[in-house]
Amino acid sequence: MNEISIFKGIDEQNVKSMLKCFEAKTIVYKKDTTVISNLANTNIIGIIIDGTANLVRSDYDGNRVVLEKLEKGSIFGEVFTSYSDELSVITTSTCTITTFDYDHIIKRCKKSCPYQLIICFSCLLKKL
C-alpha cells in the first residue's frame, strides 16, 4: 500500500493503523461495475489500489463524458462536490478500491496518528 503516492514514506504498519482508524473498506470490483454514482453528493474518498476506472459525468439528457481515467494511486471523491451533473466511478478492469469517509481525514484522530496530517494534505493537494 505504501507505493501509493499519499502513503509514500509511511511504513506499512502505520498505513494499516490509519486505515483502521479511518474505517476504510477495501473492495474488489469486477469490470464495468459502478462503484459510486452521484459522487457529487457523497462524502467518500476513494483510492484506486489496483486496476482502472473512469470518472464519468452524466448530464440531464443521459449523455456520458469520461472526465478522467483513474489508475493505481488515483484519488476520487469529495473534490467533486461543486459539480451539478451526476458523476460516477465505473471500473474499466477488475479494480481494488479503498474507500473511507472524508470526515475521518479532516477530524483529528483519537490516537493522534502522526501521519494523518500528511494524508490530509496529500488529499487536499490532489484537489488543486
Contacts of 24 (CB under 8 A, 6+ apart): 98, 99, 100
Range of 82's domain?
Answer: 5-127
pLDDT (0 to 100) of residue 128:
42
Taking only the tens place, the pLDDT of each residue in 25-67 is 999 999 999 998 876 567 788 999 999 999 998 877 888 899 9
If DSSP codes are grouped into helix, strand and coil, which group holds residue 18?
helix
Which CATH number do you get for residue 62? Answer: 2.60.120.10
pTM above 0.85, yes or no: no
CB 62 within 8 A of CB 40: no
Count: domains in the chain: 1
For residue 100, the model assigns a pLDDT of 86
- CB of 73 within 8 A of CB of 93? no
Angle at 122 between CA 71 and CA 70, to 5 degrees: 15
CA angle 107, 79, 118 (to 5 degrees): 45
Query: Is the Cβ–Cβ distance between 36 and 92 less than 8 Å?
Result: no
